[in-house]
Copies of this chain bind each other. A is one copy, B any other.
Amino acid sequence: MVTDRGLQVLRAIVQDYVDTHEPVGSKSIVERHSFGVSAATIRNDMALLEDEELIAAPHTSSGRVPTDKGYRVFVDHLAELRPLSPAQRHAITSFLDGPGDLDDLLVRTVRGLTHLTGQVAIVQYPSFARASVSHVELVALEGGRLIVILVTDTGRVSQRLVASRIELDEVAMVRARSVVGDLIVGRSVREGAQRVDEFLSTASDEPDIPAATVAIVRIVAEELEEFRQDRLVMAGAANLARRESDFRGSIYPLLEAIEEQVTLLRLMSEMVADEQGLATSIGRENEPFGLGEASVVASDYDATGSHARVGLLGPTRMDYPSNLAAVRAVARYLTRMLEDDENAR
């Protein structure tokens, strides 16, 4: 049975270990914290913590290191978010403020966050599946080239240039505009995609639908599909190389996950947030994603109805209180900015 003081000892071990990067012994705990008891007493507590598998000893006679389970208890029960310094708050606002569209804003967000924390910063694009298509534009260029532009009410734009080999006269364009508009404008992305698919599957039976229209609808289908896919923006991957010694194995799987995106996307989506919108995934909990030596902390933010996450990826041995505080602050500010944006329309 771990006592209350036992938990405080765990807290001390996590803090000191993150700080010094060395296994922490009973004596150094007594020195660095004022428990008012002797090293032998701490040792007894540590023995209990070890029974509970909250800490472990790298070798028989060395200091102790938190286990993944230990970090979990620390984060869930012992950690208080470390409030940001005024300078840090200021840094966030100056990073995030500025002109530009959603893409620019998210890029600035991850840059700022990685600068603030020294970890890899990740932000999910707000989900567009529930956004609705507010505008479709077809622009014919010379030589049969064509641009298809979709805009959602959440402010995302997708554009695609294709070199169709079909001749597109004005009549064909008008026809196509009306068909595409009927199919998706005012509909949600999800619903629109469904209707487009239906159209495509029946179109071949209807002889009076021109081939050009079908070709254009096919492009629209591709673009909608892209909208439905969630995406990430990241920054600070190079930090992993600086912190390489924090990882037992190679940082290769981490860099690969960053490049692939899809793994991190799933990981970020599947994390469970607490009532404050904060979520953590620690060490071996990430094993299914091949990231058993890493931790992720994330915070929900709101973007006009849909919600998404902004987070940090780093070594299991990271400073959770600071990093959680950072993602929460950034998420809140981001939410505020997106709301202002909404109101400004």
For A165, list chain B residues within 8 Å (CB).
344
Among residues of B, the one whose C-beta sits closest to the C-beta of A345 is B143
For A159, list chain B residues within 8 Å (CB).
149, 157, 159
Known: A137-B139, A141-B134, A259-B237. Is A157-B151 also a contact (CB below 8 A)?
A: no
For A241, list chain B residues within 8 Å (CB).
241, 250-252, 254-255
For A273, list chain B residues within 8 Å (CB).
none
A134–B155 CA distance with the chains assembled, in angstroms: 26
Does A163 belong to the interface (CB within 8 Å)? yes
Q: Are A163 and B341 in contact (CB under 8 A)?
A: yes
Does A336 belong to the interface (CB within 8 Å)? no
Q: How far is the CB of A235 from the nearest CB of chain B, in Å?
A: 7
- Residue of A102, A149, A151, A255 most packed against chain B (CB within 10 A): A255
Does A135 belong to the interface (CB within 8 Å)? yes
Does A182 belong to the interface (CB within 8 Å)? no
For A167, list chain B residues within 8 Å (CB).
none
Q: Are A344 and B259 in contact (CB under 8 A)?
A: no
Among residues of B, the one whose C-beta sits closest to the C-beta of A143 is B345
A149–B141 CA distance with the chains assembled, in angstroms: 12
A96–B143 CA distance with the chains assembled, in angstroms: 24
For A252, list chain B residues within 8 Å (CB).
238, 241-242
For A344, list chain B residues within 8 Å (CB).
163, 165
Known: A135-B139, A141-B134. Is A163-B345 also a contact (CB below 8 A)?
A: yes
A144–B235 CA distance with the chains assembled, in angstroms: 32
A149–B144 CA distance with the chains assembled, in angstroms: 18
Does A97 belong to the interface (CB within 8 Å)? no
| Residue-wise interface mask of A (167-190) relative to B, using a CB-CB cutoff of 8 A (1 in contact, 0 not) | 000000000000000000000000
A238–B237 CA distance with the chains assembled, in angstroms: 10
Does A162 belong to the interface (CB within 8 Å)? yes
A252–B135 CA distance with the chains assembled, in angstroms: 44
Does A31 belong to the interface (CB within 8 Å)? no
For A345, list chain B residues within 8 Å (CB).
143-145, 163
Does A101 belong to the interface (CB within 8 Å)? yes
A259–B252 CA distance with the chains assembled, in angstroms: 16
| Residue-wise interface mask of A (227-257) relative to B, using a CB-CB cutoff of 8 A (1 in contact, 0 not) | 0000000011110111010000011101110
Which chain A residues numbered 91 to 136 have a C-beta less than 8 Å away from chain B? Answer: 101-102, 134-135
What 9 A-B pairs are tightest by C-beta distance, nearest first?
A238-B255, A143-B345, A241-B252, A238-B256, A159-B159, A157-B161, A241-B251, A101-B161, A241-B255
